[in-house]
Structure 1
Amino acid sequence: MIGYEKINLGHGINLMLISKANYKTNIATIYIKRPLKRDEVTMNSLLPSVLKSGTKDYPSQREITVKMQELYGSNLGASVDKTGERQIMSFRLYTTADEFLPEPIFEEAFDILKKIVLDPKIINDGFDPKFVDIEKENLREDINAKINNKGHYAVEKCIEHMCEGEPFSISEDGYIEDLDNINEKNLYKHYLNVIESSEIDIVIAGSFDREKVIEIIQNTFSIKREAIIETKNEEIYKKPEPKFVEENLDITQGKLVMGFRTNMDFKDEKYYSLLMYSAILGGGAHSKMFLNIREKESLCYSIYSTLEKMKGLMFISAGIEISDYDKALELIYKELDDMKNGNISIQEMENSRSYLVSNLRALNDSLSSLTDFYYNMSIQNTNRSLDEVIELIKKVKTEDVIEVAQDIYLDTVYFLRGPKNS
């Protein structure tokens, strides 16, 4: 069963259709893909919020909001994310499906979304300076606030050290030191280059008339471009010895993050064995690390493992007493060895399988989550449906998990701790 339909519209623009007749809503998303580059990442981070502030026809956020409300309470959103070694700007439209309304609105609503991306408000060959100044300050506050979430900050710092020299080390939010040099004119110049040279994907999900939607997109979103920058799939990097990094902050609880290379990503069927590996190791309250390190040893406040599916990385994160650093590493190493040596019970397999399948089925409850799921599939040039992924997880055997365990190796250990005398 095919998860989505992909149509090449030419000039570096693709249309993806995810038909889900059980929804009364539609989500239309325009994704603009850029390779992660240090010299443009902050400008890219600013663009979605600046563009959403006003268009040529709707020159303020208020006018856009009023128009959206007239279209039966439709909504717009914009964001920027890091997906593997890509920085992706997204512009999303939420509407009620035409068949459930007294009049069709999708075409008019999508036209506003298109105008936000392609017809911004321009003053003297630049963006509205008020929009740029406001969003620069908002971004400055957001970047400064990241340190307030010590767990997330520690993961970002681990990635920065682990992937030094790789695009993945670059923060998708950008950098404060860039902001003073960005103004309405150079940001607009960069925007023109982005529109001219980026891969653009348009994803329509929900309940819709396929032929009508294709016609609307082809008529509404038609731009001719020449040289398109293609974003590439991630490379695999290997380092011979793990590195250990410590940072001191005025904190009382230590944050330990261990970064691992797995040398596989989710276009490979082995990835689903890796998913099981991570779930057994640290995927929830049923996992080895939770039961043995948090509950039995009472050594940490929290402990879990996560996967970065595009880049093929795994992270173990734990909140611990600063004095328990060595003991925590010792116990985590023991759990990793147990996985490698095949000390995995049938109960652990089934609990983890149930955990993963339940989480995947829950994606059906959110059209937004389904959109992201299938879009990530398309980035890796795979077209597995959600049901197919669930079936692959159901087929994973203990020996498959043991096999992937042999290929996982430690790259970086990052410890965020209190002052040096603590």
Structure 2
Amino acid sequence: MFETVNIAKGVKVHVHETTQFKTINFSLKFKDKLTKEKASARTILANVLQHSNEVYPSHTALRMVLDDLYGTSLYIDSSKRGNEHIVTLNVETVNDEYLSEEGVLEKVMNLMYIVLFKPNFEHGLFKESIFKREQEAIKHRIESIFDDKTRYAQQRLMELALPDHPASIQPNGTIEEVANVTNEKLVEEYEEMIKNNEIEIYAVGDIKAELIAEHFKEFFHFGDREQAIKAPSTELTKPEQERVVEFEDMKQGKLHMAFYSPITFRDEKFPVMQLLNGVFGGYAHSKLFVNIREKESMAYYVSSSYASQFGLMFVLAGIDAKLEEKAVKLVLEQLEEVKKGNITDVELGQTKALLTNQLREALDNARGQIDIYDQYMELTEAFEPDYLISRWNSITKEDIAAAANELSLEMTYFLSGKEDDSVE
């Protein structure tokens, strides 16, 4: 799917040469260990680098040059995966093979270099007004989670079940840690990112791998990276409490359940867990949706999800406060059905079809190809989509039942309205 060229120790260029698109998509991913402190600083850094640099000090100036480059798009974001924090520069530009003008690719590469290597410094620090503005923007972004009670409840579940574990660390960090970031700390984090982070560079389009690799050598001069600092452990520990109830001023109750599984992304049985999640609660035909929402009409929504990097399965449901106990009972009953292998051919067939369709749809755009390969190359560097599809198709009801029997309910969190005195 991608051809890989090493341009320095710890710096790889992955190119998918394809005539599928008339554009060229780039993603430069800077990977570091995940901590609250790093997540907070690196998220501010992503904003600062995107909105201002030495050559184009304002967002308006950068916007104008992007428009001149035939509407090239450029943005920087931050995310997490497992125990890694990732800052990504994403760029999409027209392939100048389809233009009368030549040299557009080189201009875009130079712009990417400016954004990363020519920050808007004053006296060795980021311009203070921009630093402060983006710091406040990240604080507001984190605060907005509280307004989305489903996201807030999930975050509280993780904080209570696995405090200080990578699974509970938000990709944007915390308000407290964001506030603690100084301009000097941000410069240190920037230099660490540029000089020491592991870097995965992706390019998708009608281009040659050797040409793109040479361009990155020419424009960026990335040096060798030392071996990455050991990241925090992802081993799961038993929560101190099995059930927690908290209250907010709201109408709808939020039920969140955390199950542990020994099967993680790198496990041979990882595709089995993907099917298990789909049959259990991942889709509209799943047992949770059909039996709790449709038959019982007791949930505004109900679903399951699988965090494969950590071996965590979650169930989320929006219910009336008085129905918490009944909802938990029904969820466990449906899981018991899966454990017994009571899975219909329709449930299994639709899950396999939906997983396959989702994968193929994602591959219809360049960004999806990059994201899928960046994730799945951890399974095998020679990853091809058919590898997963064939694995899904070979999985039986018995395989799913066996994986379900390894799940353990570790914590139930319920966020209830303040007026519901019956909840204890």
**What is the TM-score when the length of structure 1 is the normalising length?**
0.94
Question: Partner of 1:66 in structure 2?
Answer: 64
> 2:265 touches 2:308 (CA, 8 Å); kept in 1?
yes
Q: What's 2:46 paired with?
A: 48
Aligned in 2, Cα 1:288/1:399: closer, same or farther, shift over 3 Å?
Answer: same
In 2, the alpha carbon distance for the partners of 1:177 and 1:233 equals 20
Q: Which residue of 2 aligns with 1:133?
A: 132
Kept after mapping to 1: 8 A contact 2:165/2:234? no
After superposition, the Cα gap between the structure-2 partners of 1:101 and 1:311, relative to the gap in structure 1 and judged at 3 Å, is farther
Q: Which residue of 1 aligns with 2:279?
A: 280
Runs of 5+ consecutive residues of structure 2 not aligned to the other structure: none
Q: Shift in Å at residue 228 of structure 1?
A: 4.3
Deviation of the 1:276 alpha carbon: 0.7
Distance 2:114 2:379 in 1: 29
- Residues 77 and 87, structure 2, Cα contact 8 Å, conserved in 1: yes
Given that 2:8 and 2:222 are in contact with CA atoms closer than 8 Å, whether structure 1 keeps it comes out as: no
Alignment match, 1:94: 92
Post-superposition Cα deviations, 1:31-58, rounded to whole Å, max 9, x if no partner, equal 1111111333211110111011222222
- Measure, in 1, the Cα distance between the counterparts of 2:217 and 2:279: 46
Paired with 2:365 and 2:376, the residues of 1 have a C-alpha distance of 17
In 2, the alpha carbon distance for the partners of 1:231 and 1:83 equals 15
The Cα shift of 1:22 comes to 1.0
Secondary structure of residue in 1 paired with 2:207:
coil
Partner of 2:253: 254
Change (3 A) 1:259 1:19: farther
Counterpart residue number, 2:5: 7
Tell me which residue corresponds to 1:314. 313
One-letter code aligned to 2:307: E
Distance (Å, rounded) in 1 between the aligned partners of 2:401 and 2:55: 59
Q: Distance in 2 between matches of 1:92 and 1:240?
A: 38
Structure 2 partner of 1:194: 193
Counterpart-to-counterpart distance in 2, 1:339 and 1:388: 25
Do the aligned partners of residues 18 and 414 (structure 1) sit closer, same or farther apart at CA in structure 2, a change above 3 Å counting? farther
1:174 alignment partner in structure 2: 173
Q: Is the 8 A contact 1:86 1:231 kept in 2?
A: no
Contact 2:11 2:225 in 1 (8 A): no
Residue 233 (structure 1) shift: 9.1
- Mapped contact 2:161–2:239 kept (Cα < 8 A): no
The CA deviation at 1:75 is 0.6
Percent identity, aligned pairs only?
28
Of stretches 394-403 and 160-169 in structure 1, the one that deviates more from structure 2 is 160-169
* CA distance, structure 2, for counterparts of residue 186 and residue 47 of structure 1: 10
Q: Is the 8 A contact 2:160 2:239 kept in 1?
A: no
Letter in 2 for 1:283: G
Query: How many angstroms apart in 2 are the aligned matches of 1:309 and 1:209?
Result: 34
Question: 2: distance between equivalents of 1:262 and 1:80?
Answer: 27
CA shift at 1:176, angstroms? 1.6
Is 1:389 equivalent to 2:388 in the alignment?
yes
The alpha-carbon deviation at position 359 of structure 1 amounts to 1.2
Match of 1:421 in 2: 421
Distance change >3 Å, CA 179–CA 232, structure 1 → 2: closer
1:8–1:15: 8 Å Cα contact kept in structure 2? yes
Following superposition, the deviation at residue 91 of structure 1 comes to 0.9
Cα 1:382/1:320, change in 2 over 3 Å: farther
Q: Residue 28 of structure 1 contacts residue 110 of structure 1 at CA under 8 Å; is this kept in 2?
A: no
Contact 1:233–1:380 (Cα < 8 Å) also in 2: no
Shift of 1:72: 0.8
What whole-Å deviation, never above 9, does each CA across 1:341-393 have from its counterpart, x for those lacking one? 11111111111111211111111222112211111123455542122212211
The whole-number CA distance in structure 2 between the counterparts of 1:85 and 1:27 is: 26
| 2:414 partner SS | strand
Give 2:107's aligned residue.
Answer: 108
What is the rounded CA distance, in whole Å, between the counterparts of 2:81 and 2:349 in structure 1?
30
Length, aligned pairs only: 420
SS of 1:174 mapped into structure 2: coil
- Equivalent residue number for residue 406 of structure 2: 407
Question: Scaled by the length of structure 2, what TM-score is found?
Answer: 0.93
Matches of 2:231 and 2:204, distance apart in 1: 25
Instruction: Give the 3 Å change call, closer, same or farther, for CA 153–333 of structure 1 in structure 2.
Output: same
Cα distance in 1 for partners of 2:233, 2:182 equals 32
Tell me if the contact between 2:15 and 2:203 (Cα under 8 Å) persists in the aligned partners: yes
More off after superposition, 399-408 vs 176-185: 176-185
Of 175-184 and 74-83, more deviation after overlay is shown by 175-184
Pair 1:26 & 2:24 matched: yes
* CA distance 1:160–1:19, shift in 2 (3 Å): farther
